[in-house]
Amino acid sequence: MNSKNRVYQVVAAIPKGKVLAYSEVAKLAGIKSPRWVGRHLHVNEDTNFIPCHRVVRKDGGVAEKFGGGGSKEHKRRLTKEGVMFVGNKVDMGKCGWKMNGK
């Protein structure tokens, strides 16, 4: 399986209301750089199956160049799913997801 498919597999598993950091997706997908996660997600053509909006920076920040309309759209999609924010950053303590189900 190539790196893009591994990234997509990890991201597809993130449940509604939860997020993972780019660095966490990279680690789980077995790739070295979180930047590759961003590159793969930027060309995602199936946002219904691969919910790329559920991936954020490790500090909870949303992507300024989010493909579907910038940071405002990124935050809107997450808020719609129940993701909680503290200011402009996701509350990673409450909404960060661990692949083991926590």
* pLDDT tens by residue, 80-93: 999 999 998 999 99
- Active site (annotated) includes residue 95: no
- Residues 72, 62: Cα–Cα separation, whole Å: 9
Q: pLDDT tier at 68 (50, 70, 90 boundaries)?
A: low
Once rounded to an integer, what is the mean pLDDT over residues 46-58?
90
Q: What local confidence, expressed as pLDDT, does residue 102 receive?
A: 45
* Pick from 80, 102, 76, 101: nearest CA to 88: 76
DSSP secondary structure of 11-40: HHTPPTT-BEEHHHHHHHHT-S-HHHHHHH
Q: Record the pTM.
A: 0.91
Residues 37, 52, 56, 63: which is the catalytic one?
52
